[in-house]
Chains A and B, each alone.
Chain A
Amino acid sequence: METVIKIKNLYFKYEKRYVLEDVNIEIKRGEYVAFIGPNGGGKSTLAKLIVGLLKPSRGSVLVFGEPPERAREKISYVPQNINFNLDLPLTVMDVALQGRLNKNKLFFNSEDKEIALKQLNRVGMESFKDRKIGDLSGGQRQRVLIARALASEPEILILDEPTASVDPKGQKEIYKILNDLNITRIVISHDVNIFFEKIDRAVYVNRKIYVHENIEPIIEKDQDHFCEVELLEYLKMFKNKREKNV
């Protein structure tokens, strides 16, 4: 499979201290990768480096063999903070259409509107298209921002904690949307629910990275709630089983 993102010897610092050190990873076309790790570990920073909002202090990031700013048409992004400018008089449709903009596109045509609507439909927000973006709930707004990113028709989609402000039901819906896509996906998460998804690899980011290959979804998720406590119970169960076998 073709490599779509190649990060080599990447170092990054905002001020004096490096927040990312010696990061090396290649991501292949169609992969579904999770970035996990503690708060402040550098997940969002790494995402911003990949999309080109930040420049490496050392080393390189290549997207389709080019610096990210040359691959803009092929990559899209859903930011971590989604609760900005809520007073702005802007409809859901206006926001979704922003995914269609580019340097030379000043006005939208009927094809742009069609694509924006199609993506709103995909995330189940089509009927909200004339609502003001600030009037939606966090989960609804999250879905609109996913639609906006998809409206760019990217080959790579990066989502920074897309389920952070969403209730469990909404989380499931968002993961369902991501699961049904077949483009390259990177999803940042700091809760264990990500392990119920069909992710190919998990990258633990805490200044340095550690890549977990060949992840298998641990269990079928049939309960509404799952957090670290259930995870521990689950591990205990394994341990007991093994002890019995010994």
Chain B
Amino acid sequence: MFDLLQNAFIASLFISVAVGVIGSYVVINRFNYLAASIAHGSYAGVGFAVYFGISILLGTTVFALLLALLLSFISFNNRSRSDTLIGVIWAVGMSIGIIFTDLTPGYNADLMSYLFGNILMVPKSDLIFMAVVDLIILISGVVFYNHILAISYDIDFAKLRGIRVGFLYTYFLILIALTVVMSVRSIGLILVIALFTIPPYISEKFTKDFKAMMFLSGVLAFVFCIAGLYISYSYDISATPAIILTASVFFFLSLFKRR
């Protein structure tokens, strides 16, 4: 039991670092819909992985990365007009995932465990993957901080300064994909989006500096995970919904604070 809790604790920490940074960029750029499309669409990767008997993490990583590339190609020039296509990709990905798990002989598919995860069952190999993704995100976050922030504020001005807007857009969607994938077995593909958006949304209201916003988002995500874990343990309920509901309570409370 202690081992499980320890892994859950470490996973929470790693996930919080990633969603604190990436989630903040998602929120200020209003990428929620894109991120959700990557997350849901990646379920196709789960389906393929169980059908062909390869590692789930590998299957979802490949699919999530392909989706990130596809979506960046589709949506870079006109995000609002590509909404429909983004929604269709989301649905197609999920459907493929479900059909392939259905087709897998003798696999009484535990759909729920990938859609909603189980943070108490995170294997060690996932923790290593998470640590690597965190490292990539932190380094990218520092190196491209000023460029991504300039793009987020005023993309036209960023272009005029010669910033590689297209490259950074794609790169950024790839980081979203990696963050989604690293959470597949702990938080799950669907609810991770809530963890992407709720902490930054709250933090944005309390900070006037973007670094502070990312830091506070990470701290909040961690607090929500630990509180959720505690509730889940005490009442013997699933961890992910407990975490997300905890976050939601704070989200609703934050609505009372004006900007």
Which chain A residues have a beta carbon within 8 Å of chain B's beta carbons?
51-53, 72-73, 75-77, 79, 84-85, 87-91, 94-95, 97-99, 101-103, 105-108, 130-135, 148, 152
Are B209 and A53 in contact, CB atoms less than 8 angstroms apart? Answer: no
Contact B259 A87 (CB under 8 A): yes
Contact A85:B146 (CB < 8 A) given known A72-B161, A91-B208, A103-B162? no
Instruction: Check A85/B161 contact, CB under 8 A, given A101-B147, A106-B147, A132-B208.
Output: no
Q: Which of A84, A94, A105 contacts B149 (CB 8 A)?
A: A94
The stretch of B97-105, B150-158, B183-191 in contact with A is B150-158
Residue of B nearest to A87 (CB): B204
Q: Mark B200-229, 1 if CB is under 8 A from A, else 0.
A: 000010011110110000000000000000
Which residues does chain A contribute within 8 Å of B163, judged by CB atoms?
A: 101-103
The chain A residue with its CB closest to the CB of B24 is A89
Name 14 interchain pairs, CB-CB below 8 A, sorted by A.
A72-B162, A84-B154, A87-B28, A87-B259, A89-B207, A90-B149, A94-B149, A98-B161, A101-B150, A102-B162, A103-B161, A103-B162, A108-B146, A152-B161
**Given A87-B204, A88-B210, A132-B208, is A53 in contact with B160 using a C-beta cutoff of 8 Å?**
yes
| B153 proximity list for chain A (CB < 8 A) | 84-85, 88, 90, 95, 98, 133
B161 A52 Cβ-Cβ under 8 A: no
Give the residue name and chain of the B residue nearest to A94 (CB). Answer: B149
B250 at the interface (CB under 8 A from A): no
Q: Mark B109-149, 1 if CB is under 8 A from A, else 0.
A: 00000000000000000000000000000000001111101
The interface residues of chain B lying within 8 Å CB-to-CB of A52 are 160
Asked whether B79 is an interface residue with its Cβ less than 8 Å from the other chain, the reply is no
Nearest chain A CB to B157's CB is how many angstroms away?
Answer: 6
What number of B residues sit within 8 Å (CB to CB) of A? Answer: 28
Report the minimal beta-carbon distance from B154 to chain A, rounded to whole angstroms.
Answer: 7
Q: How far is the CA of A2 from the CA of B149 in the complex (A)?
A: 37
Q: Which residue of B lies closest to A76 (CB)?
A: B160
Return the chain A residue nearest B156 by Cβ. Answer: A53
- Chain B interface (Cβ < 8 Å from any Cβ of A): 28, 143-147, 149-150, 152-154, 156-164, 204, 207-210, 212-213, 259
Shortest Cβ distance from residue A93 to the other chain B in the assembled complex, whole angstroms: 10
Beyond A89-B207, A89-B208, whether A79 also contacts B154 by CB under 8 A is yes
CB A100 to nearest CB in B, in angstroms, measures 9
Query: Which B residues are CB-close (under 8 A) to A101?
Result: 146-147, 150, 158, 161, 163
C-alpha gap A52/B161 in the complex (Å): 11
With contact pairs A89-B210, A106-B144 given, residues A148 and B157 touching in the complex (Cβ less than 8 Å): yes
- Cα A152 to Cα B152 in complex, Å, equals 19
Q: Kindly list chain A residues whose C-beta atoms are within 8 Å of the C-beta of B149.
A: 90, 94
Determine which of A79, A85, A94 lies in contact with B156 in the assembled complex, contact meaning CB atoms within 8 Å.
A79
Cα A106 to Cα B209 in complex, Å, equals 18
A residues in contact with B207, CB < 8 Å: 89
Bound together, the chains give a CA A97 to CA B149 distance in angstroms of: 11
Residues of chain B within 8 A (CB-CB) of A98 are: 146, 150, 153-154, 157-158, 161
> Of A72, A97, A106, which is in contact with the most chain B CB atoms at under 10 Å from its CB?
A106
Nearest to B159 among chain A residues (CB) is A53
Task: Report A-chain residues with C-beta under 8 Å of the C-beta of B147.
Answer: 101, 106
Q: Bound state CA distance, A77 and B213, in angstroms?
A: 29
**Closest chain A residue to B207, Cβ basis:** A89
CB-CB under 8 A from B164, the residues of chain A are: 103
- Contact partners of B209 in chain A: CB under 8 A: 89-91, 94
Cα A130 to Cα B208 with chains together (Å): 9
